[in-house]
Structure 1
Amino acid sequence: GETAPRIERIELLFGDSGADAVIGESSPTVTADFQPHTFTYVVRPILREGNSGFDRLEIATATRVERLLSVKVDDAEVGEEFLRDIQDDRIVVGFDKLVGSEDTEKRIEVVFEVPVLRFGQKFTGFAFSSDDPDIRQQVEEGNATLRFSTNSLSVKTPRGGELIGELKAVPAAFSPNGDGVNDQVLIQYQVRVLGNSVPHVLTLYDLTGRVVRRLETAPGAAGVYERGWNGRDEAGKRVPPGTYIYTVKVEADLGKQLSTGIVSVVY
C-alpha cells in the first residue's frame, strides 16, 4: 500500500517579545451618528529588560482617517519627522523606540478623526519595530489611562437606520470629451452597519428610465466607497449631453436600500 507522509522535523522560531504587554483603550466608545468623530487612542506598554521594544504603532480604523491630529509619547508631542502614514483602512505612526524598563508605562496617545460605520467597530492595534515589521504584538484592551474608564477599543454606533449614506456625485456635472479635464465623475457613498461583505450595484439611467450603464463593485462591508463613470454606455459609446439618474443598491440580511442621485453630462 501507499506510505503515509512523515514529518521528520518541525522547527519553531521565537523572537524576543517587543513588550511584556501592550494595553490600550480609546474614547469615545459611543457615537450618535455616522459623521467623522475625534477619537483618542492610548497605549500603555509594560516593558522590562530583555524586551526588544517597538517604535511603530498601527491602528486599524476600517475606513480612511480624515485627519491625524496628534501623536504623543509620555505627554510630549512627537515631531513630524517621524512616520505618520494614513492608509485606506489604518494609520501607522512612528516615534523614538521604547525599550527596557526605563520606558515602561510611557503612554502613547494618538488622536484622529474618522467616521465609524459599523456597530461594534474595534480599533485593533499592533506595536512593532521598524527593524522587524513582520513581528507584531497586538494591543490588548484594558486600563491604559486614568483619563478614561472604557477599558475598550470598540465603538457603538446607532443601530438600524439607513444602509447607504452621504451619496453624492463629484463633480455634479462633467464633460467626458477626452480632453483630460473632468472626463469622469466619482459616485461616492458610505455603506453603514454591515458586518458581512455584500455587493453594491451602481446603475446609471437616462431620463426615460433606460439603463445606460451598470457597475457592480466587489463585495464590501461597512466603509466609504467611490465608483467612477467615464460617461460611456454598456456598448462603450459616449452618452449624449443631459441629466442622468444614478442609483446605488445594497442588499443585506438585515434589509436592502436603493439610493438615488443625479449627474449632468455637458460638452
Structure 2
Amino acid sequence: GTANIYLGGLYNIDRLRVISGFTDPGRTVGILRVHIGPRPIVNYGIVPPKSPWIVEVRDNREQILDIPIPSHEAVEFVQVALAEHNTDWEVNEIEVYAKGFVKQATYISDVIDFERPMAWGDLRWSGVQESGAQVLIRTRSGLDDDADVFWRFTGRGSKAEVSRAGYSGLKLNERAGITHDLDHWTFWSAPYDFADSSGTPVVSASPRRYFQFKIDFLPREDAGGRVGFVELRASEPVATNLVGEVWPVEAKVGQQSSFTYALRPTIHPGDVGFDQLEIETSSIISAVEAVRIGDVPVAFTVEAEEPHRLAVSFPRLQEQDSGTLVEVDFAAQVLRYGAIFAAQVSDSDQPLEVPQGVNPGDATTKYEGNRVSVATAAQEQRLLQVRVEPTIFTPNGDGRNDEIGIFYHILEITGSAQVAVEVWDLSGRRVRRVYSGADGIGEYEREWDGRDEAGGLVPPGIYLYRVSVDADREKVEKTGVVYATY
C-alpha cells in the first residue's frame, strides 16, 4: 500500500511517526520506505515514486515507529510506501513533523466596507518579527467593493468586462483573465516599517469607502514572525476632496527658497470643513511667510514650525468656500532631488479626529507643476537624464514585462563618475542595488528583474528607483516610482 501526503506548503521535515497494529500488536507494519519531494511524486497513485527513497525500515516490531528524516530542502509531498507482508497489517496513523517555518505565508483581509468615504489615520499592530525574518504589512483602498476586473474573450480577438459571478460561470477557454482595477483601487502599498507598530500613517489614498490589508510572512530558517492584531484609525473626512500642489517645482539644492503650497478643496453639504493645514517634508522648513484664501491675504497662526514640519491655522473653510484656492507661502531648503511636501488638513474643533490627506494634482492654473515634489535646479539636472520603461511590470516569469529598464544619460562630466542604481520600498528600506560602478559620459541601461538582494521576488507594490551620480565635486540624484504587480 501507499500513503501520499500533500502538506500544502514547503516544510523542512525532520521526523515521521507511523503508528500501526494499535488494535492488534500482531498487525504491526514491518517494512516501509519514505519518499519526499518538492512536487507530486506519483501520478494517479499508481506510478512508482519520482524521487528516491530517503529512509527504509525493515523488520519493525514497534507499534509507534519514530523515523528521523535526514536534512533536505523544503518539500511539499511525502510518500510512505508499504511493502508486501506475509501477514496481515494495519496502519492507524501517520504523523509528519517539521522544524522551522513555511517558506512564505500570506494573510489577506476581507474588503472592509466603512459604508461611506473615510479619511485614514494611523495603522497599529502587535506582533513579533524575529531577526532574519520579515513581516510585511501592506494596505490598499478603493471606491467599490472589488479590486479585480474580470474579462472574457469575445471571439473577435478582443476582451469584454464581466462581473465576478459572470466570470465564474464561463468555461475555461472563455476566460480572458483577471486584472487589477486601476480606476477604482490603489495598488498595494509598500510595506510599512514593522518597528512602527505603535502607529504609522496609512499611505493608501483617502477618503475612500473600502479598505483592505495583507500581511506577508517571510521566515528565514528558524526565525519567524506573527501578528496579534491590526488596528486602523479612521474618521469622516472634513472635505469631499482635496487637491494640492507646490510651486516652484525646481530649486537649488541646499539653498533657501520660497515656495507656495496651493490647495483647492471640494466641500459638499455635510462636510464640516477645516481651518488647519500641516505640511511634512524631508526638506528643512524655516518660516511661514503668508496665507491667502481666494487671493486675499488672511491672518494666520503658526501652530508648529519644526525643521521638517509646519502647521498653520487660518479662517475656517466651509461649504460656501468649496473650490476656493488656499495658498501658503513658506521658506525651505531642498536637500535632495524629488523632495516631497505632503500635506493634510484638520478641524481644530475636533482635535481627536484623523487629519485628512491632500491628493497631489492640478489645484490651480496659476502654477504649472501639478505635483507636490521639487526637483533640483536645471543646471544640476543637465548632468543626468533618467527614464524607466515600463513603469508597471509583472516579474512572474511569463516572458512579458518581467523586467524594467532603467536608462540614464550622463552629461557634462570630466572623466568618469561613481554611479549607483538602487531600488527602495516606501518604508525607506533598500530592496536591491541594481548597479554600482564608474561610468563616463554616455547612455546606459540597467535592468531590474523584480528580485531583492537575496534573489527572492519582491511582493507586489510601489517601489522607488534612485540613480545617483557623484562627479566633479557634485552629487546628483534622480528618483521615480515603479509598480510591481502579478
TM range (shorter): 0.5 to 0.7
AA of the residue aligned to 1:107: L
Per-residue CA deviations over 1:161-182 (Å, capped at 9, x if unaligned) read: 9xxxxxxxxxxxxxxxxxxxxx
Match of 1:135 in 2: 354
- Report the Cα distance in structure 2 between the residues aligned to 1:29 and 1:70, rounded to whole angstroms: 19
Match of 1:155 in 2: 374
Match of 2:412 in 1: none
Match of 1:85 among 296, 304, 308: 304
- Report the Cα distance in structure 1 between the residues aligned to 2:303 and 2:340, rounded to whole angstroms: 21
Asked if 1:145 corresponds to 2:364, the answer is yes
User: Where do 1:43-122 residues align within 5 Å?
Assistant: 43-80=263-300, 82-100=301-319, 102-122=320-340
- Report the Cα distance in structure 2 between the residues aligned to 1:17 and 1:159, rounded to whole angstroms: 39
Which structure has more relative contact order (CA 8 Å, sep 6+)? It is: 1
Question: What is the deviation of 1:136?
Answer: 1.3
* Contact kept in structure 1, 2:267 and 2:273, CA below 8 Å: yes
Question: What is the deviation of 1:34?
Answer: 2.3
Question: What is the deviation of 1:16?
Answer: 2.9
User: Where do 1:1-267 residues align within 5 Å?
Assistant: 15-80=235-300, 82-100=301-319, 102-133=320-351, 134-157=353-376, 158=380
* Contact kept in structure 1, 2:302 and 2:310, CA below 8 Å: no
AA of the residue aligned to 1:135: V
Question: What is the deviation of 1:83?
Answer: 3.6
Give the alignment's TM-score, normalised by structure 2. Answer: 0.30
Q: Once superposed, what is the RMSD of the aligned Cα atoms?
A: 3.2
AA of the residue aligned to 1:109: E
- Report the Cα distance in structure 1 between the residues aligned to 2:272 and 2:236, rounded to whole angstroms: 6
AA of the residue aligned to 1:78: V
CA spacing shift, 1:63–1:37, aligned 2, 3 Å:
same
* Contact kept in structure 2, 1:127 and 1:138, CA below 8 Å: yes
Question: What is the deviation of 1:160?
Answer: 11
Per-residue CA deviations over 1:39-67 (Å, capped at 9, x if unaligned) read: 11100000111112111100113233222
- Report the Cα distance in structure 2 between the residues aligned to 1:197 and 1:63, rounded to whole angstroms: 19
State which structure, 1 or 2, has the greater radius of gyration over its C-alpha atoms: 2
Q: How many equivalent residue pairs?
A: 162
Question: What is the deviation of 1:255?
Answer: 8.6
Per-residue CA deviations over 1:140-197 (Å, capped at 9, x if unaligned) read: 1111111012110101124699xxxxxxxxxxxxxxxxxxxxxxxxxxxxxxxx9959
Match of 1:168 in 2: none
- Report the Cα distance in structure 1 between the residues aligned to 2:339 and 2:236, rounded to whole angstroms: 31
AA of the residue aligned to 2:283: T
Gaps of 5+ in 2: 1-111, 115-232, 384-421, 431-466, 471-486
Match of 1:250 in 2: none
- Report the Cα distance in structure 2 between the residues aligned to 1:103 and 1:142, rounded to whole angstroms: 19
* Contact kept in structure 2, 1:83 and 1:95, CA below 8 Å: no
Gaps of 5+ in 1: 1-9, 162-193, 199-252, 257-267
- Report the Cα distance in structure 2 between the residues aligned to 1:122 and 1:11, rounded to whole angstroms: 31
- Report the Cα distance in structure 1 between the residues aligned to 2:253 and 2:113, rounded to whole angstroms: 50
- Report the Cα distance in structure 1 between the residues aligned to 2:299 and 2:235, rounded to whole angstroms: 30
CA spacing shift, 1:85–1:16, aligned 2, 3 Å:
same
- Report the Cα distance in structure 1 between the residues aligned to 2:364 and 2:327, rounded to whole angstroms: 10
AA of the residue aligned to 1:97: R
- Report the Cα distance in structure 2 between the residues aligned to 1:46 and 1:105, rounded to whole angstroms: 6
